[in-house]
Amino acid sequence: MVKVSNFNKVVFFTGAGMSAECGVPTYRGQGGLWGQYRHEDYACQEAFDRDPEAVWEFHERRRAQAAGCQPHRGHFLIAEWEREMPGVQVVTQNIDGMHQRAGVTRIHELHGSLWRLRCDPCGIVEENHEVPLGHLRHACGGFWRPDIVWFGDCLRRDVLGDARHAIRTCELLVIVGTSGVVYPAAQLAVEARAFGALVVEINPEATHLTASCDVSLRGSASEILPQLA
Ligand code: BV8
C-alpha cells in the first residue's frame, strides 16, 4: 500500500466526493446538484446578470448547507500530513472551504469559494462567512458576486499556474473524489504521471481519470485516506 510519509512532495487533488461524507452534495451522479438544478439558471455569469437575486438565493442555500456540515477524518488527516510534511499541498475543485476548516493552509482553490464575495466593477474581493448574508449589494450599489468560477469563466491564472506547478513537481498525486469531467482542472490530473508522479485515485467508482492513475483504490475518502498513513 502507498504511504504518504514515504514521499517528500505530495499533492492531494480533491473534488466534491471529498466532502460527500460531510453531507455536502456532489454535482453529478446520485443526488448530484446538477441533477436538481440547471447550472445555466443558477451558476453562470449570464444567469447572474439576468437575475442576481435568484443566483444569490441558490448560493445562500449552499452556504447555509456547507456551514452546517463538518469536515470528516479524511480532511483532518490531510491537514495533519500538511502540518508534519512541508512538501504537502492541496489542489481542490471544491468551493465549500472544508479543507480550511480542518486546518489546511497550503491550498489552491481552482474554482473559487462559497466564502468569498467580489465586486467586479470595484475590483475588490472579500472573505464573508455570514449566514445569511447581511448585504447582497456592495457600497457602490452593485450586487456582490460569488467569487466562484462558473462554467464559461476563466480560472484565475495565478491559481491555475501555482496548482499546475505543484502537480508537475510532486512525487505523489492523490486524487480524491472527482469525476474528472471538468476542464482545465482535470487536465492537471491527467498530465501528472507524465511529469513523474505516482498517481493514486480514491473513489468508490471508476472515473474519467482512472486510466491516468497508477493505483485506483475503490472506497470512500474517509475510509481509504487513513490507509495511506
Ligand atoms: C474555462 C462552479 C475557459 C462551482 C463548476 C477544455 C478546456 C477548457 C474548458 C473546457 C474544455 N472542455 C469544456 C470546457 C468548458 C467547461 C467544462 O469543463 N465543461 C465540462 C462539463 C465538459 N469548463 C469551463 O467552463 C471552465 N472554464 O475553462 O474557461 C473557457 C471558457 C469557455 C469555453 C472554453 C474555455 C470552468 C470550470 C469550472 C466550472 N465550475 N462549478 C459551483 O457552482 O459549485 S463545475 C463543478 O464540477 C464544480 O466546480 C466541481 O468542482 C467540478 C468537478 O466536479 P467534481 O468535483 O468531480 O464532482 P462530481 O460530482 O462530478 O464527482 C464526484 C465524484 O466523487 C464522483 O466520481 C463520485 O464517484 C465520487 N464520490 C462520491 N462519494 C465519494 C466519492 N469519492 C470519495 N469518497 C466519497 N465518499
Residue nearest to atom 37 of ligand 1 (CA): 151
Task: Please tell me the pTM assigned to this model.
Answer: 0.97
Shortest-distance atom of ligand 1 to CA 15: 56
Q: Is 108 a catalytic residue?
A: no
Contacts of 61 (CB under 8 A, 6+ apart): none
Closest C-alpha to 144, from 157, 128, 159 = 128
Please report which confidence band the pLDDT of residue 30 belongs to, taking 50, 70 and 90 as the band edges. confident
Q: What is the DSSP string of 106-148?
A: SEEETTEEEEEEEETTTTEEEE---SS-S-SB-TTSSBPEEEE
Contacts of 49 (CB under 8 A, 6+ apart): none
Report pLDDT digits (tens) over 158-173.
Answer: 999 999 999 999 999 9
Yes or no: say if 15 and 177 are a contact pair by the CB < 8 Å rule.
yes
Q: In testing the pocket of ligand 1, which one of 183, 187, 208 has its CB within 8 Å of the most ligand atoms?
A: 183
- Report the pLDDT averaged over residues 107-126: 98
User: One-letter amino acid identity for 187?
Assistant: Q
Average pLDDT, rounded, for the chain: 97
- Report the pLDDT averaged over residues 33-55: 94
pLDDT of residue 29: 83
